[in-house]
Amino acid sequence: MNQTSKLIETLKKQLKLKGYTYLDLANELDLSEPTIKRMFSVKNISLQRVEEICSFLDIDFYELALLYKKSIDKKNQELTTEQERILAENPKLMTLLYFLMHGWPLSLILEEYDFNEIEITGMMLKLDKFKLIELRPENNFKLLVSKNTLWKIDGPIWNYYKKMISDDFFDHSFKELNERFIFTTGQFSKKSLKIIIKELDKFTKKFNALAEEDTFLPLKDRNSTGVIIGFRPWVFSLISNLRRR
């Protein structure tokens, strides 16, 4: 399969992931459903059509290229439960993996943090054993997990560290120029909620894409940054407890 075919296959997967049918796309592009099916079947779609489909899917060419790259990348996009369990049980091992994922050389980790060479060698062997890295001579390695993947909601790491992360993250004034703390509520229609979810998904994709790009910059030009987004139907218990039963 050539690159063009794989790119079109990526579009097809995104269509399915977002819950759209060929008919939905046909209506958007003012074409018949059989025409859309044929376009994807023969994998012959013009650049203009690709742009139109990207617009319908609310992604741009750059995001499509990243999605395509991930589809052919051998790295795991999500840790297995066993991998998460091993990391959750060994915070120092998880810290080392975090540094490796973000491009830190071992020499700098040894210089800046409480690791020694023997310890790191043992940890690298363990990361290799659990297929988080592919270890090579002299502690060189190939990363086998995505640079922006460390845990998933309700996985072992999240369940173990959830309260600690929450307390640690929010114990801060959030007054600096490049910091934000926003808490607001509202009552929305289903249509508005769908728009908000779409915008949050776009932000998350952009956040991860920029993090991926900046991995190649020197460490001195990067700042470790965290973001927490929580969005759900919610009524403050102080209010809900006053509701008449």
pLDDT of residue 19: 85
pLDDT of residue 148: 66
Which CATH number describes the domain made up of 3-72? Answer: 1.10.260.40
140-166 pLDDT tens trace: 999 888 766 767 778 888 888 888 888
pLDDT of residue 75: 52
Instruction: Give kind and range of the element (H or E) at residue 135.
Output: strand 133-135
Report the distance separating Cα 191 and Cα 198, nearest Å.
11
* Stretches in the chain below the pLDDT threshold 50: 74
Q: Which of 60, 35, 55, 33 is nearest to 45 (CA)?
A: 35
pTM: 0.63
pLDDT of residue 17: 82
Contact 141, 151 (CB under 8 A): no
Domain residue extents for the chain? 3-72, 81-143, 156-237
Beta pairing, strands 141-143 & 133-135: antiparallel
Report the distance separating Cα 221 and Cα 214, nearest Å.
9
Taking the alpha carbons of 101, 104, 105, 111 in that order, is the dihedral positive or negative? negative
Contact 116, 103 (CB under 8 A): no
SS3 for 143-212 is ECECCCCCCCCCCHHHHHHHHHHHHHHHCCCCCCCCCCCCCCCCCCCHHHHHHHHHHHHHHHHHHHHHHH
Q: Which of 166, 159, 157 is nearest to 87 (CA)?
A: 157
pLDDT of residue 110: 94
